[in-house]
Amino acid sequence: MRGVCFGYSAEREVLHDVSVCFPAGAITTIVGPSGAGKSSLLRLILRMEEPDAGEVCVDGAPVSSLSISDLRRQMAVVWQEFSLVQGTIWDNLTLGAEDPSRARVDDAVRVCRLKSLIDELPDGYDTHVGEWGATLSGGQRQRIALVRALVRDAPVLLLDEAMANVDMQTETLILRDLVVRQEGKTVIVVTHRVSIAALADHVVMVAAGRVAAAGTHAELMRDSEAYRKLQGGGTEAPGRPHAVPAT
């Protein structure tokens, strides 16, 4: 993003002169207080919104030069709010994927810590979900949406508070496995849990519609007082793993 300004109305500018890079093939976390503009960054990447000024580029090409279908075909996204479709668990896990293999689905289910749920269901993957997934908890529905995104296996994965209804320990385990599984792909994670930032290659801190700091977790802990305050002043955080068993 180069000099991006954006507002949902003329009276409500959300992002102010934002210039920031999300490195290709890396995991970036976006952190900051509520209302800072974090989700708006993802909406601009997906062309759900257009900037009022400045430019959003992917691989050097302005997203405005790409068709929306071509752009979004390269991306999988999980929002905090989403819906399940009428049908089976399998239908929901594979929605949008082209001829997904059982092995790919099984792998994504393990990463997202859903295997025990699937095993306990009366018909496994063929179990029908209630309307809007009413028979499942919020955390289970969110993890189903995450599996759906992983099964698509797109080059870019965008997560917007995608595990807000999942406990912190489970979220950390899932993200640890994503670090390994998504190696070489571009992952952008919007999260209010700043402790997750240490698992990423790159961290962007947004405050009041501006990029307040950007760099590695270690660099920001060293150089940014605002980031240290957001972290609660702590210096210890889980490091990036090489491999973590999934159960």
Which helix (H) or strand (E) element contains residue 204? strand 202-207
Residue holding tokens 């997750």? 196
Token duo for residue 124: 């496994």
Parallel, antiparallel or unpaired: strands 53-55 and 156-160: unpaired
Parallel, antiparallel or unpaired: strands 186-190 and 210-215: unpaired
Which helix (H) or strand (E) element contains residue 160? strand 156-160
Which residues have a Cβ under 8 Å from the Cβ of 167 and sit 6 or more positions away? 139
* Options 161, 171, 219, 225, the catalytic residue: 161
Whether 98 sits among the annotated catalytic residues: the reply is no
| Residues involved in catalysis | 161
